[in-house]
Structure 1
Amino acid sequence: MFRYLPPPDTGLVPVFVDACLVVVDKPHGLLSVPGRGEDRADSMASRVQARHEDALIVHRLDMDTSGLMVFGRGAAMQRALSMAFEARQVEKRYVAVVAGRLEGEGEVALPLNADWPNRPRQKVDIEHGKPSLTHYRALDYDAARDITRVALMPVTGRSHQLRLHMQGIGHPILGDEFYAPPAIHAGAPRLLLHADTLALRHPASNALMVWYCPAPF
């Protein structure tokens, strides 16, 4: 049975905060929102709301993924930001470390669907899956370990999209317990996936805001 062991709460240090937004760096191993049961109440949302009561969730990261998340302060800001995400007006970049040598840049457009008998796993489903698109760019190859650091820019936002798209082209992410073979899962102490860049128009001023938070791996 899954046992939730969130990282210690050492105090919230926002990447950015103003009257409209709160941007934070979610640590690996922390739920974005509370789960079911008192033992899963600790989350990025609850930690942010302990400091900023009006902060409302706009988007989520997987528990095993670290990186930038934005919260809207109040319902109007949450709605404006949610609409920007839905309209694909928000630019997101992730950094991952994958198995094997991945070169150049390209895109992955494998359709995805829930793997209902094995939830929360998802699966590539050519016939019934939802359209899903990820752009990628290789950053660095480590020949000694046969691993590649890669930038991932999702266009759609399906659950486990980046994990499945990398696995689907033969380069699973290190530390991925769901989709990587055992040796690659064991190749890192955590999922090596981090949301390092977030860019959007400020919902009040319309100024372009860009935040960067380097990967801890």
Structure 2
Amino acid sequence: MGRLYSAKMLCKPVAIETGRYMQTVEILAKRGLVGKRLDLAMVEETKGLSRRKAKSLIDDGSVFVNDQRVRIASRQLSFGDRLTFRYVPDNKKKPQPVQISERDILFDQAGVIAINKPVGLPSQETKKGDRFHVVPLVKRFFQTKGRDLEHLALAHRLDKETSGVLLLGETPEIVAHLMDQFREKTIEKTYHALCYGKAQDEFEVRCRLTAINPKNGTVKVSQKSGKDSQTFFTRKEYYQKSGMSLVECRPVTGRSHQLRAHLAKVRNPIAGDKVYGDTHPKLSDELYHLVSQHHYLHARLLKFTLPGQSKKLQVKAPYPKTWQSIIELLRSPLT
């Protein structure tokens, strides 16, 4: 860990799995920083922090001046201002692409494959032409087992940062069978979400949501241009010290970003959601690091039928490692 020049470390660095460290930084505005933009002051006073990263931290609500959150990068500092923020220095090592392994295969029967989609893996090819998305990686895994799944295709999608049960079909007919169940709302879907605030014991959200705006990648509530959406929620656990809740989500409809938008609407945004959520100032460094990695939405369980069968079967996905770590911390009496 490099020296932070005139920035002051407020706590010990927190080691994380990638070998990087969470740093908590405090900068006191003296003569040289008076009148300087917030983002430029952060870059000048913090070794290894790029201006783009500084702007991102400000936009995410991770930067405080005199204990007040500031989201304006052009804000000018005054003499004596105390600037604080936490960040993980960039790892210069090229990140390893996500792969599909044996443990990710939850179900493989009658032409239906269910995987536990890892966090960070796109369901389908992105605009950037990312080669690492679900279908080619699942094909590659089964090729190592001597199976050629030429016509493998997705039956539905999950957001890149959402983990959990994802269904694929080996033929167009099987994919159509699964997609029909989603369209007819006969598939039972259960998600788990870690949210900020104390959620109600039981609640329902109904509203009309727009399609994703291609300019900013978000949906919004709109009575005029939106489509009906509905989700039932149950609070499973509440972690008083951190002010967070574990919520079970049972969506009836399947609009884009539905659960994220619904929980934000009732002021229980999903932890780590940089689009619909907010940075939580009460979190410890350990929790802050985990929350900063991705949003905490997990497709926990699906109930569906196989072709030619009427009895529903159930596929359940265990939590990823980050989920296991954060829940262990949240349940700890010391957190």
Unaligned runs of 5+ in 2: 1-51, 53-94, 143-148, 324-335
Q: Specify which of 87, 91, 116 is matched with residue 184 of structure 2.
A: 87
Q: Are 1:77 and 2:174 an aligned pair?
A: yes
SS in 2 for 1:134: strand
Q: Specify which of 208, 212, 215 is matched with residue 312 of structure 2.
A: 208
Match of 2:194 in 1: 97
User: Larger deviation: 22-31 or 48-57?
Assistant: 48-57
Match of 1:30 in 2: 121
- The answer to which structure has the higher strand fraction is 1
Match of 2:133 in 1: 43
Higher RCO by CA contacts (8 Å cutoff, separation 6 or greater): 1
Q: Superposition pairs for residues 167-186 of structure 1, below 5 Å?
A: 167-183=264-280
Q: Superposition pairs for residues 1-217 of structure 1, below 5 Å?
A: 7-9=97-99, 11-12=101-102, 13-38=104-129, 40-50=130-140, 51=142, 52-114=149-211, 116=213, 118-183=215-280, 187=288, 188=291, 189-216=293-320, 217=323
SS in 2 for 1:79: helix
| Alpha-carbon distance in 1 for matches of 2:96, 2:249 | 26
Conserved 8 A contact 1:99-1:174: yes
Conserved 8 A contact 1:111-1:125: yes
| Deviation for aligned residue 1:118 | 3.6
Q: TM-score when scaled to structure 2?
A: 0.60
CA change 1:183–1:143 in 2 (3 A) is closer
| Deviation for aligned residue 1:204 | 2.8
| Deviation for aligned residue 1:213 | 1.3
Q: TM-score when scaled to structure 1?
A: 0.90
| Alpha-carbon distance in 2 for matches of 1:104, 1:7 | 39
| Deviation for aligned residue 1:7 | 4.4
| Alpha-carbon distance in 2 for matches of 1:8, 1:92 | 25
| Counterpart AA for 1:91 | E
Q: Which has the larger radius of gyration?
A: 2
- The answer to which structure has the higher helix fraction is 2
How many aligned residue pairs are there? 213
| Counterpart AA for 1:32 | S
| Counterpart AA for 2:162 | T
CA change 1:10–1:198 in 2 (3 A) is closer
Identity of aligned residues (%): 29
| Counterpart AA for 1:122 | V
| Alpha-carbon distance in 2 for matches of 1:172, 1:108 | 13
Unaligned runs of 5+ in 1: none
| Deviation for aligned residue 1:115 | 5.5
Conserved 8 A contact 1:95-1:215: no
| Deviation for aligned residue 1:92 | 0.6
| Deviation for aligned residue 1:48 | 1.6
| Deviation for aligned residue 1:42 | 0.9
Conserved 8 A contact 1:112-1:124: yes
